[in-house]
């Protein structure tokens, strides 16, 4: 079907007001939940074909998120959509003031490949909960998951409400010529700029969920064992192809050697070998080559082995890394962890402040002054103290970037708000209004108005 005609149908359908009914929204959210559950095996197989992601990882980092999102919105739909009463000021008496969460209309969601289900379904679930029609364009890079999502949606939902449009850059470029009421994009900062420019043509608001180099700092006051275990888990989950993975490590010099040994110990314990069914592969040849070029053999502390045929790169620690090295010039997005040592904590914060604002930042310490300085001095999307990535697991926290790492946020109530317009309504009584607002004016009226305003 031609995509423009689908959007026109969605526009007509939105005008029927059907998507605004809570019963309608609940019915389709339930339907999507049941379809995901009944197609679980198909979803596991597709993602395994795309980049060897295991059933365990797919459930814990993708499907469980999606099912939780659906349950959250079904449970909270009534309270989220209920008009919020706010105080009415003196000049607007006698009246009452309310804010209505108004669906935006027809929205476009563009997904990334690295968590293909979560990054495509979570935004459309929020869009559905908020009462919108939606076109989803998943990433073509994870082709099998794109097809699986298209099968689930296009065979079971009316296209005038929800539709998956399969395609790559050409198809996305076509889509971007059309006028949407919101574009929700997940992907690189480079493509984010293309999306933002295209959206500006139609004054379409955007959420841009982008990437960047997210630092993790480990000071001498950290619980080093806990830090090493959590960092190894978070960095090599999905073979480092996670937008909020710790991109590089800054370790205080006095514990540097000891910490590297602990990292090595956990990588070995977690058994991330070439035969592991729990260690994800690199998505494609292009990224494999890009990553291999970032491994400076002279700086390999651990790992560095690879199997090109199977797109396997061993978890790799790089030591004695400097800020000028190639690996520090771009988001790594793979299983390579550069480690830089530091002696002055405040200087480290100053250095990070000089860089683009990251999507995430992490600090491992038990020192409350360091915690305070990290939280208040740095600007980044979100993060953790004494953990990595897990802030995403709390849907009461908004998830999104700042500066180069993104615009806007979602998850829980923030996802609902991202796809709603806050419409203000002041309702006035038709009686009891003093005459001072109306001409002819006088000094006496002005003095009353001064008192009121």
Out of 126, 328, 352, 359, name the contact with ligand NAD by CB under 6 A: 359
Q: Closer to ligand NAD at the Cβ: 144 or 188? A: 188
Query: Residues with catalytic annotation?
Result: 209, 243
Q: Which is nearest to 334 in space by CA: 312, 356, 319, 355? A: 312
Out of 113, 117, 163, 184, name the contact with ligand NAD by CB under 6 A: 113
CA–CA distance, 339 with 264 (Å, rounded to integer): 12
Q: Does 243 bind ligand NAD (CB under 6 A)?
A: yes
Secondary structure (H, E, C), 175-187: HHHCCCCEEEEEC
CA–CA distance, 449 with 108 (Å, rounded to integer): 47
Q: Which is nearest to 214 in space by CA: 196, 228, 235? A: 235
Q: Does 215 bind ligand NAD (CB under 6 A)?
A: no
Residue 423 makes CB contacts below 8 A (sequence gap 6+) with 99, 100, 101, 102
Q: Which stretch binds ligand NAD (CB under 6 A): 86-94, 109-117, 365-373, 438-446?
A: 109-117
> What's the Cα-to-Cα distance from 116 to each of 145, 302, 411, rounded to whole Å?
7, 30, 16
**87 secondary structure, DSSP code:** P
Q: Closer to ligand NAD at the Cβ: 213 or 230? A: 213
Q: Does 410 bind ligand NAD (CB under 6 A)?
A: no
Instruction: Specify the residue for token string 């006095």.
Output: 254
Q: Closer to ligand NAD at the Cβ: 147 or 445? A: 147
Out of 210, 217, 291, 317, name the contact with ligand NAD by CB under 6 A: 210
Q: Does 426 bind ligand NAD (CB under 6 A)?
A: no
CA–CA distance, 362 with 365 (Å, rounded to integer): 10
Residues 153-172 that bind ligand NAD (CB under 6 A): 168-169, 172
Q: Does 238 bind ligand NAD (CB under 6 A)?
A: no
Q: Does 282 bind ligand NAD (CB under 6 A)?
A: no
Out of 52, 105, 111, 382, name the contact with ligand NAD by CB under 6 A: 111
Cα 173 from chain centre? 22
CA–CA distance, 118 with 8 (Å, rounded to integer): 27
Element (H, E) at 54: none
Q: Closer to ligand NAD at the Cβ: 131 or 334? A: 334
Instruction: Give the CB-nearest residue to ligand NAD.
Output: 211
Instruction: Specify the residue for token string 């929020």.
Output: 126
Q: Does 314 bind ligand NAD (CB under 6 A)?
A: no
Q: Closer to ligand NAD at the Cβ: 199 or 222? A: 199
Binding site for ligand NAD (CB under 6 A): 110-114, 119, 137, 139-141, 168-169, 172-173, 186-188, 191, 194, 209-211, 243, 331, 333, 359, 401, 406
């Amino acid at each position: 079907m031609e995509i423009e005609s689908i959007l026109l149908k969605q526009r007509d359908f939105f005008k029927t007001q059907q998507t605004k009914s809570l019963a309608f929204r609940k019915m389709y959210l339930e339907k999507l939940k049941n379809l995901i559950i009944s197609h679980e095996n198909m979803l596991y197989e597709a993602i395994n074909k795309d980049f060897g992601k295991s059933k365990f990882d797919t459930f814990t980092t993708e499907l469980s998120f999606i099912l939780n999102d659906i349950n959250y919105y079904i449970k909270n739909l009534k309270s989220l959509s209920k008009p919020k009463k706010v105080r009415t000021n003196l000049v607007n008496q006698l009246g009452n003031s309310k804010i209505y969460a108004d669906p935006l209309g027809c929205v476009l969601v563009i997904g990334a490949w690295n968590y293909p289900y979560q990054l495509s379904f979570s935004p459309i679930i929020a869009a559905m909960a908020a009462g919108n029609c939606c076109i989803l364009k998943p990433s073509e890079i994870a082709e099998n998951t794109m097809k699986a999502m298209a099968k689930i949606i296009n065979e079971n939902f009316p296209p005038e409400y929800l539709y998956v449009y399969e395609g790559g850059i050409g198809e996305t470029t076509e889509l971007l010529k059309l006028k949407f009421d919101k574009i929700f994009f997940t992907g690189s900062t480079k493509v984010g700029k293309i999306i933002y420019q295209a959206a500006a043509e139609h004054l379409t608001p955007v959420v841009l969920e982008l990437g960047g180099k997210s630092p993790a700092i480990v000071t001498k006051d950290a619980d080093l064992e806990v830090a090493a275990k959590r960092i190894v888990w978070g960095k090599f989950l999905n073979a480092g192809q996670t937008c909020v993975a710790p991109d590089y490590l800054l370790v205080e010099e006095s514990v540097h050697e000891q910490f590297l040994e602990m990292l090595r110990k956990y990588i070995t314990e977690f058994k991330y070998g070439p035969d592991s069914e729990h260690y994800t592969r690199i998505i494609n040849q292009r990224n494999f080559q890009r990553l291999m070029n970032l491994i400076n053999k002279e700086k390999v502390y651990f790992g560095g082995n690879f199997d090109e045929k199977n797109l396997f790169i061993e978890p790799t620690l790089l030591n004695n890394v400097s800020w000028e090295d190639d690996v520090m010039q771009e988001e790594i997005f793979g299983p390579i962890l550069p480690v830089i040592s530091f002696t002055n904590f405040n200087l480290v914060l100053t250095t990070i402040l000089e860089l683009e604002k990251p999507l995430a930042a992490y600090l491992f310490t038990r020192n409350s002054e360091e915690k305070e300085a990290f939280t208040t001095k740095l600007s980044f999307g979100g993060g953790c103290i004494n953990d990595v990535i897990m802030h995403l697991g709390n849907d009461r926290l908004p998830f999104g970037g700042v500066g180069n790492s993104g615009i806007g946020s979602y998850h829980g109530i923030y996802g609902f708000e991202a796809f709603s317009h806050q419409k203000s309504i002041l309702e006035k009584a038709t009686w009891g209004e003093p005459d001072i607002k109306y001409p002819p004016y006088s000094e006496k009226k002005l003095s009353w108005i001064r008192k009121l305003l």
